[in-house]
Amino acid sequence: MRKFNIPQHYRSSLIGRVKSFRKLQDPKKQDMSPTLLDLGPVRFILARHFGFCYGVQNAIEISYKALEEHPDRRIFLLSQMIHNPEVNEDLEGRGIRFIQDTHGNRLMDWSELRSDDIVIIPAFGTTLETADRLRALGIDPLKHNTTCPFVEKVWKRSEQLGQQHHTVVIHGKAAHEETRATFSHTAKGSPAVIVRDLEETRELGRIILGELPPGRFHELFGTRCTAGFDPGKDLQRVGVVNQTTMLATETQAIADHLKEVMERKYGKANAKEHFADTRDTLCYATNDNQDATAELLKEEADLALVVGGYNSSNTSHIAEMLESKFPTYFINGDKEIVDPATMEHFDYPAQKLKRTKGWLPSKRPLTIILTSGASCPDTLLDRVMLRVLGFVEGALDAEQAVDALVAGH
């Protein structure tokens, strides 16, 4: 995999060294077991895989290169480049303006743009409609396009499904930028519908089997399907693709359920004519992060810290997995760790910030799981770890502990 030119302030002197050490040990990522960093009275268990993925590194490289190469031109980001406030705030501080927010709401008028402006497409991609709008203004949407290649892979698979006369079932969050982009690209060539989870898919299955009336489809999916969608006709042949940051296990469960529905309706011998196997659209980084998180669940720990943007889908699913076993705190970074008694963190299901007292147990040694999402700089994990260490009397020096870890193997 190619190396990217990432700004120095995102590079880590602690966590980054641990990751490099593990990569040298296990270049093919066959060992997903976590790393134990022992600092005496506190021990950190680090996931085997976390932090900037290929698509995020690509987006960061293109954005900062545009700033470096065009100091005299106005530069805009269509929306948040990635779902991490630290990165987006840094870009804003360097003069980049955002055209719209993460939900597609305008932050400025399109008429303010000029044909000589640079507009960067974020890693999630964008809709065909937005790309056409930029072209109409004389701006090439492909010149500074940071769309993740794995997102584009989903678009290509959706196009293939359309050519094979399948309806595309998109597993994703309808308001998410990536899902909106995938829906737009898919709708060009086939009917499409967005399902949020397995529960909604079961409802869709009952509609396909005729156990629920066709009108139920429009009650559930009327705002999340292509115009003129006909449940009687458009649900005879389906294939599943996903928003690449969803839970991989749930995407597979959705595909398995729809395959079973088609087998029940048309018979196992004919099911291949009505269901397309599309498991190849799952993102490698999402899979790696979730596999590494599954290994964390085999450990014993006192709490888990998950670092990343609160609107980051892949980070939220890591937190969701860890919450099943550990007291888990989803934080943007070290600033949310107010003091040894108080933690500000994000309750993802409730979509609101919480303030928790007594988050740091008094027992020693203390074991803490530490991981992050695919859009989180490793430097943030350094800062979180050092912040916690500052509250634990007698903790070893972090740099020396990393030295010992690397030298001991």
User: Tokens 């005299």 label which residue?
Assistant: 72
Sign of the C-alpha dihedral, residues 63, 67, 68, 73? positive
* Active site amino acids: 178
Collapsing DSSP states into helix, strand and coil, what is residue 306?
A: strand
- What are the residues facing 366 on neighbouring strands? 42
Which H or E run contains 1? none
Query: Are the C-beta atoms of residues 72 and 55 closer than 8 Å to each other?
Result: no
Between CA 240 and CA 248 the distance in angstroms is 12
Q: Is 27 left (phi over 0), alpha (psi -120 to 50) or beta?
A: alpha
Pairing relation of β-strands 352-357 and 342-347?
Answer: antiparallel
Question: What are the CA-CA distances from residue 235 to residues 73, 162, 180 (Å)?
Answer: 49, 13, 21
Tell me if the bond preceding 149 is cis, omega within 30° of 0: no
Alpha helix segments (H runs only) across 324-362: none
Query: Are the C-beta atoms of residues 135 and 155 closer than 8 Å to each other?
Result: no
Alpha helix segments (H runs only) across 222-312: 231-234, 248-266, 284-296
Between CA 204 and CA 216 the distance in angstroms is 9
User: Tokens 């799981």 label which residue?
Assistant: 369
Pairing relation of β-strands 342-347 and 328-331?
Answer: unpaired
